[in-house]
Amino acid sequence: MDVIITGGAGFLGKKLAAKLLERGHLSIGGFEPRPINRITLADITPATGLPADHRLQFRQVDITDFRAVQELIVPGTQAIFHLAAIVSADAEENFDLGMSVNFDGTRNILEAARRLGTTPGLVFASSVAVYGGDLPEVGNDELMLTPTTSYGTQKAMCELLVNDYDRKGFINGRAIRLPTIVVRPGKPNKAASTFASSILRDPLAGKTAICPVSADSKMFFLSPRRVINAFIKTMELPSASLGVLKRFTLPGISASIGEMAHTLEKVAGKETADKIQWIPDPHIQKIVSGWMPDYFAQRALGLGFEADENIEEIIRAHIEDEL
Amino acid sequence: MDVIITGGAGFLGKKLAAKLLERGHLSIGGFEPRPINRITLADITPATGLPADHRLQFRQVDITDFRAVQELIVPGTQAIFHLAAIVSADAEENFDLGMSVNFDGTRNILEAARRLGTTPGLVFASSVAVYGGDLPEVGNDELMLTPTTSYGTQKAMCELLVNDYDRKGFINGRAIRLPTIVVRPGKPNKAASTFASSILRDPLAGKTAICPVSADSKMFFLSPRRVINAFIKTMELPSASLGVLKRFTLPGISASIGEMAHTLEKVAGKETADKIQWIPDPHIQKIVSGWMPDYFAQRALGLGFEADENIEEIIRAHIEDEL
């Protein structure tokens, strides 16, 4: 089968491709697994550092261009992982860009998938940013969609659309809400949460990092390893196991930023942890304080999804995978 | 001020215009009421039976055409009541038409309103069809958005968009979810709920009507009079009174179809009620059984919105207004 990964130049897209190549097969919605013949990474930005594998190709595609999307999602496409997005702070600053990429781009992909007429599998990467405002200490699967950012609004709208495209039989669709992913390799991005990776990644690489929020700020995390497994597991889940709602939140772990710094010291020593510079930024603090610090992901846990054990596991996995 | 009403050829649009003309003034979001200079009814279908009033005009507009919408929503527009929609059964049958009118049309209106740069007031007519699937006997304001129709999906997506346009300061927006409106005058439409009006309206006019659902089927109702008042009250509510969520469900009354027939007999006699022919339609029955039979509209009640007292009041109001 042919697999497409949008946002394919991003670190999650590349990791997902590597994992799928290693596995060599994939099931769509619980049907019999089939060998993967081709994986196409699609992104507006050229991808670098791709593994040499005859099954892997890169295509530069602007998902806001429907014709380009139709040239990407051609007959034979059986699985689409849609990860491409304008991240939170960028979508908030550039409303039209966010609407165009995050909403119209997703709609283009859904529509091109529908026009195949073969009900391809589609996993949409949503976000816990669909929740905002006056939130409980621990989120749960019964919460209303209450986004308080344009990014969260666009993700919530897309979740609804994925659900309807699935219900109509246009796609075999699912949307999963990702916790904050740590540790992101590479460079900081425009997500308001990017510091959570920087304060672990940069000190471990011998560089200083700025932490703009207080040590008692709590966030909800998942590691790259776990989220890659979750993308694949989501694609493979039988449709019936999801019922009417084809969307759910992945399990993660809740930790304070102070706990992260403390664990970094435990794993890599005081000198490393001291490379975190605590310089408060009220703007970032306000955004982070508006996020849900914890979530009881009952549905996903019932479906067999797993969170990381603790922050130490996340840091050690990063060292193993990236350093 | 200039007021625009989309869906202006529909009976609610025309009644809303008549009420606003009678009032002569309107407040936007709690600001001081100002005289209404002009009301523009916009619709793709020509409006008939409009009152002669120099303040009232009709414009034929296809809301899926952004340029046409921009020519409608011109500087000076301070209030927009957006009622235009493809109704439930039609949107389910014609997915692309529903997306185009219900979603893209709404987005065009929001975007044209934003480009005024003057934060006009906007009331969006949503629907309890944003709820579906496994619903409680009595709905409440904490329920998730779980549409199980394309119509409900499109309305839910628009609610989210209205909220974000409001949050960004592009509009002073609000979305209200309408119960099933009875008694609709005129002819049946393509809404799956249209029979609920027919079985009262047609016998009262001396004609037979078909009831496709069982007598014990319960639905959630509001009268045209009450919903017209609710549109105006929603426009006038101070933004702060709504908090972060600029969407809520209007109060209504829950009644069984048998109770409606019984009340019709009480008000208009056995001969009239006997004009209802009970001919089950499993397709309509299934749709109606999926709807929420009752809803506790706590937020709206707290804001001073009111439901009808009972079905008898609704029938008597129809006789007074239409016969």
Q: What is the pLDDT of residues A209-241, one digit of tens each?
A: 999 999 999 999 999 999 999 999 999 999 999
**DSSP label at residue B80:** E
Residues 6+ apart with CB under 8 A from A323: A204, A205
Residues B130 and B32 in one domain: yes
Smallest CA–CA distance, residue B244 to chain A, in Å, is 7
Residues B84 and B200 in one domain: no
pLDDT computed for residue A229 by the predictor: 98
Angle between helices B224-236 and B11-23 (to 10 degrees): 60
| A252-268 per-position pLDDT tens digit | 999 999 999 999 999 99
Q: A53: pLDDT confidence band, cut at 50, 70 and 90?
A: very high
ipTM of this complex: 0.96
- Gyration radius of chain B's alpha carbons: 19
Hey, are the CB atoms on A157 and B153 less than 8 Å from each other?
A: no
Hey, are the CB atoms on B160 and A148 less than 8 Å from each other?
A: no
Residues B96 and B67 in one domain: yes
CATH code for the domain in which residue A202 is found? 3.90.25.10
B184, part of any domain: no
Q: A153 contacts in B (CB within 8 Å)?
A: 160-161, 163-164
Smallest CA–CA distance, residue A146 to chain B, in Å, is 7
Residues B13 and B119 in one domain: yes
Residues A7 and A147 in one domain: yes
Hey, are the CB atoms on A160 and B164 less than 8 Å from each other?
A: no
Smallest CA–CA distance, residue A298 to chain B, in Å, is 16
Measured between CB atoms, does B50 come within 8 Å of chain A? no
Hey, are the CB atoms on A244 and B167 less than 8 Å from each other?
A: no
In contact, B279 and B215? CB cutoff 8 Å: no
Catalytic residues of A: 151
**Does the pLDDT at position A192 exceed 90?**
no
| B182-239 per-position pLDDT tens digit | 999 988 888 889 999 999 999 999 999 999 999 999 999 999 999 999 999 999 999 9
Smallest CA–CA distance, residue A133 to chain B, in Å, is 7
Q: A60: pLDDT confidence band, cut at 50, 70 and 90?
A: very high
Q: Positive or negative, the Cα torsion across B249, B255, B260, B263?
A: negative
pLDDT computed for residue B145 by the predictor: 94
Peptide bond between residue A183 and the one before it cis (omega within 30 degrees of 0): yes
Q: A191: pLDDT confidence band, cut at 50, 70 and 90?
A: confident
**Does the pLDDT at position A189 exceed 90?**
no
| A72-111 per-position pLDDT tens digit | 999 999 999 999 999 988 999 999 999 999 999 999 999 9
B313, part of any domain: yes
Residues B86 and B45 in one domain: yes
For chain A, give the mean pLDDT.
Answer: 96
Residues B100 and B233 in one domain: yes
**Does the pLDDT at position B41 exceed 90?**
yes
The letter for the amino acid at B152 is G
Measured between CB atoms, does B110 come within 8 Å of chain A? no
Percentages helix, strand, coil for chain B, rounded to the nearest 5?
45, 20, 35
Q: Could you tell me which of A177, A176, A250, A180 has the C-alpha nearest to residue A221?
A: A180
The residue with tokens 């999602």 is A73
Measured between CB atoms, does A100 come within 8 Å of chain B? no
The letter for the amino acid at B178 is L
pLDDT computed for residue B300 by the predictor: 98
Which residue from B148, B160, B168 is facing A147, i.e. has the nearest CB? B160
Q: A243 contacts in B (CB within 8 Å)?
A: 133
B187, part of any domain: no
The residue with tokens 């966030």 is A219
| A7-44 per-position pLDDT tens digit | 999 999 999 999 999 999 999 999 999 999 999 999 99
Number of domains in chain A: 2
Q: B82: pLDDT confidence band, cut at 50, 70 and 90?
A: very high
In contact, A314 and A223? CB cutoff 8 Å: yes
pLDDT computed for residue A321 by the predictor: 93
Hey, are the CB atoms on B161 and A164 less than 8 Å from each other?
A: no
Query: Which residue of chain B is at minimal alpha-carbon distance from A131?
Result: B144
Q: A130 contacts in B (CB within 8 Å)?
A: none
| B204-214 per-position pLDDT tens digit | 999 999 999 99
Residues B30 and B79 in one domain: yes
A302, part of any domain: no
| Strand A218-222 versus strand A180-181 pairing type | parallel
B129, part of any domain: yes
Which residue from A133, A142, A150 is facing B144, i.e. has the nearest CB? A142
Query: Which residue of chain B is at minimal alpha-carbon distance from A167?
Result: B148
Residues B10 and B98 in one domain: yes
The letter for the amino acid at B120 is P
Query: Which residue of chain B is at minimal alpha-carbon distance from A243?
Result: B133
A304, part of any domain: no
pTM of the full structure: 0.96
β-strand partners of A124: A82, A175
B318, part of any domain: yes
| A282-313 per-position pLDDT tens digit | 989 988 888 899 999 999 999 999 999 999 99
CATH code for the domain in which residue A98 is found? 3.40.50.720
Q: Could you tell me which of B175, B197, B177 has the C-alpha nearest to residue B188?
A: B197
Which residue from A95, A134, A160 is facing B145, i.e. has the nearest CB? A160
pLDDT computed for residue B287 by the predictor: 85
**Does the pLDDT at position B22 exceed 90?**
yes
Peptide bond between residue B213 and the one before it cis (omega within 30 degrees of 0): no
Measured between CB atoms, does A62 come within 8 Å of chain B? no
Tokens found for residue A235: 């694609």
**Does the pLDDT at position A173 exceed 90?**
yes
Q: Work out the average pLDDT over B32-61.
A: 96
For chain B positions 137-156, those within 8 Å of chain A (CB to CB) are 142-148, 150, 153, 156
B189, part of any domain: no
pLDDT computed for residue A270 by the predictor: 97
Q: Work out the average pLDDT over B50-77.
A: 97
Residues B233 and B207 in one domain: no
Query: Which residue of chain B is at minimal alpha-carbon distance from A95?
Result: B168
Q: B161 contacts in A (CB within 8 Å)?
A: 153, 157
Domain region containing A46: 2-179+223-249
Residues B203 and B172 in one domain: no
Residues A131 and A259 in one domain: no
